Amino acid sequence: MALRESATFGRGVIDDIQRAAETGVYDIRGWGAKRAVPHFDDLLFLGASMSRYPLEGYRERCDTDVVLGDRNARYPLHLQTPVTIAGMSFGALSAQAKEALGRGASEVGTSTTTGDGGMTPEERGQSKHLVYQYLPSRYGMNLADLRKADAIEVVLGQGAKPGGGGMLLGQKISDRVAEMRTLPAGIDQRSACRHPDWTGPDDLAIKILELREITDWEKPVYVKVGATRTYYDVKLAVAAGADVVVVDGMQGGTAATQDVFIEHVGIPTLAAIPQAAQALQELGLHRKVQLIVSGGIRSGADVAKAMALGADAVAIGTAALIALGDNSPRYAAEYEALGSAAGMYDDFQDGRDPAGITTQDPELSARLDPVEGGRRLANYLRVLTLEAQTIARACGKAHLRHLEPEDLVALTVEAAAMARVPLAGTTWIPGVKSHA
């Protein structure tokens, strides 16, 4: 008789149980959710033909710029492409990687973002538009850097771990990282999951007021949430005064989080966008308070789909690291020596990244040339933008922002229900009353 693997207790599950039994600790890792969830791959565009008119591929303009945070700030951000770089901390990433992100983003006129751990001079110096994260830990938070920022992002959560705080394991707490965080070097560092000086949306409104007062109403204030009760969270963030809302779906990357958290908490990006767009529309503020979406953005098609569902811009984390060289087959032998493989490496918490990106080791991080890394990232960002433009023109749009849900259909019933677009070839949107 053929051998039969259990669907409930598969080999992966058996591995997990045995690992837990051996070590007595849960698995902490980087990357994002690895399970399959309904995603942008389950959507398709309806190109124009008779009923809609396409734009000429290489002749007619399709603009890509976006203004972020013009509701209250004297100096909103004006980006040339709606693809931004998500917040990733110095500490999680090497100083070289941070600098490369700044260089690549600046080359194509988009923004980059600090992370849990403060602002480094390398990053500020190389980033034309730098968003400064305001996190519960307030590591490295200071008045001078706040005033150097181009925008402030109040972080309530991340898609990889909505409701969770941060952690940076001791092997990555180098002297420089420790000093920036005012902590002893080498300890396993926890960061809080709740802000220390405000609780709930009414307090957040006052906190945002304070940040505006401190920075003389110059800078846009973003609020970032992990996708869970997105409809309500977006409404509350806007009520608290957010100029921009960042929604990070459950596939979003992380530097170090419990595997159980990554895989089991939060909702897919696809399900979160329509909720966020609906909340903004009901407030009469869609496109006035901008929506940035992240979590699993890989291609220009993903960018276009997120925007068609209502995003004004997207943010990328994992894909940006891959563009820098993360998981490259070039390091196959070294990944194997670490018990991993090129294409599967997710031990960002471990600090031994052969690609020199998620490490504080001086030798490893020296492998990443920030200029070359920046060039690669800029190339990748250009490709994303060109791809999104290609699709937008085919849909007859002279600006990426003009993409709309009516341009989309879904391949599966699940995706149709989550994205609130019809199942391909039908008028059926599960859960939405048909007017046809």
Partner 1 sequence: MESMTFDLSTTTVRALNAELHDPSVKSYEVLHPEGAHAVAAGIDSGVAVDVHGHVGYYCAGMNDGGSVTVHGNAATGLAENMMSGTVRITGDASQSAGATAHGGLLVIEGSASMRCGISMKGVDIVVGGSVGPMSAFMAQAGRLVICGDAGDGLGDSIYEARLYVRGRVGELGADCVEKEMRDEHRAELAELLAAAGLEHDVTEFRRYGSARRLYHFTSEHSGSY
Residue 164 vs 422, nearer CB to ligand FMN: 164
Tell me if 249 sits within 8 A of 266, measured CB to CB.
Answer: yes
199-228 positions binding ligand FMN, by CB under 6 A: 224
Tell me if 104 sits within 8 A of 323, measured CB to CB.
Answer: yes
Q: Tell me the closest approach of the beta carbon of residue 414 to ligand FMN, in angstroms.
A: 20
C-alpha of 229 from chain center: 17
| Local structure of residue 86 (DSSP, 8 states) | P
Between CA 77 and CA 74 the distance in angstroms is 10
Between CA 61 and CA 229 the distance in angstroms is 38
Residue 13 vs 206, nearer CB to partner 1: 206
Question: Of 199-207, 214-222, 288-296, 393-401, which segment contacts ligand FMN by CB under 6 A?
Answer: 288-296
Residue 262 vs 378, nearer CB to ligand FMN: 262
> What does the angle CA 246 – CA 251 – CA 257 come to, to the nearest 5 degrees?
95
Structure-token pair, residue 432? 């939405």
Note whether 217 binds partner 1 by CB under 8 A.
yes
The phi and psi torsions of 229 (rounded to 5 degrees) equal -95, 65
Q: Which of 92, 149, 177, 308 binds ligand FMN (CB under 6 A)?
A: 92
Q: Which of 66, 83, 88, 167 binds ligand FMN (CB under 6 A)?
A: 88
Tell me if 62 sits within 8 A of 55, measured CB to CB.
Answer: yes
One-letter amino acid of 427: T
Residue 157 vs 249, nearer CB to partner 1: 157
Question: Of 140-148, 227-235, 313-321, 390-398, which segment contacts ligand FMN by CB under 6 A?
Answer: 313-321
Structure-token pair, residue 323? 């563009």
20-39 positions binding ligand FMN, by CB under 6 A: 30, 32
Q: Which string of x and - marks every residue 160-199 that binds ligand FMN (by CB under 6 A)?
A: ----------------------------------------
- Residue 155 belongs to what H/E stretch? strand 151-155
Note whether 141 binds partner 1 by CB under 8 A.
yes
Note whether 183 binds partner 1 by CB under 8 A.
yes
Residue 230 vs 397, nearer CB to ligand FMN: 230
Q: Tell me the closest approach of the beta carbon of residue 112 to ligand FMN, in angstroms.
A: 11
Residue 271 vs 409, nearer CB to ligand FMN: 271
149-178 positions binding partner 1, by CB under 8 A: 167, 169-170
Between CA 181 and CA 162 the distance in angstroms is 22
Q: Tell me the closest approach of the beta carbon of residue 218 to partner 1, in angstroms.
A: 11
Note whether 18 binds partner 1 by CB under 8 A.
no
- Among ligand FMN, partner 1, none, partner that 141 touches (CB below 5 to 8 angstroms by kind): partner 1
Note whether 325 binds ligand FMN by CB under 6 A.
no
Alpha helices in 338-397 (DSSP H): 362-365, 370-394
Between CA 408 and CA 358 the distance in angstroms is 37
105-144 positions binding ligand FMN, by CB under 6 A: 115-116, 133
Length of the chain: 436
- Residue 154 belongs to what H/E stretch? strand 151-155
User: Rounded to the nearest 10 degrees, how much is the dihedral formed by the CA atoms of 315, 273, 166, 12?
Assistant: -100
Q: Which of 50, 143, 284, 425 binds partner 1 (CB under 8 A)?
A: 143
Between CA 117 and CA 252 the distance in angstroms is 19
| Local structure of residue 287 (DSSP, 8 states) | T
Note whether 318 binds ligand FMN by CB under 6 A.
yes
Secondary structure of 42-68 in HEC code, one letter for each residue: HEEECCCCCCCCCCCCCCCCCECCEEE
Note whether 312 binds ligand FMN by CB under 6 A.
no
- Residue 166 belongs to what H/E stretch? strand 166-168
Query: CB neighbours (10 Å) of residue 220?
Result: 26
- Among ligand FMN, partner 1, none, partner that 308 touches (CB below 5 to 8 angstroms by kind): none
- Among partner 1, ligand FMN, none, partner that 268 touches (CB below 5 to 8 angstroms by kind): none
Note whether 110 binds partner 1 by CB under 8 A.
no
Q: CB-based burial of residue 430 (10 Å sphere; 0-12 exposed, 13-18 middle, 19+ buried)?
A: middle
Note whether 25 binds partner 1 by CB under 8 A.
yes
Interface residues with ligand FMN (CB under 6 A)?
30, 32, 86-89, 92-93, 115-116, 133, 155, 158-159, 224, 248, 251-255, 294-297, 316-319, 348, 358
Interface residues with partner 1 (CB under 8 A)?
24-25, 137-138, 141-144, 146-147, 167, 169-170, 181-184, 187-188, 190, 192, 196-198, 203, 206-207, 209-210, 213-217
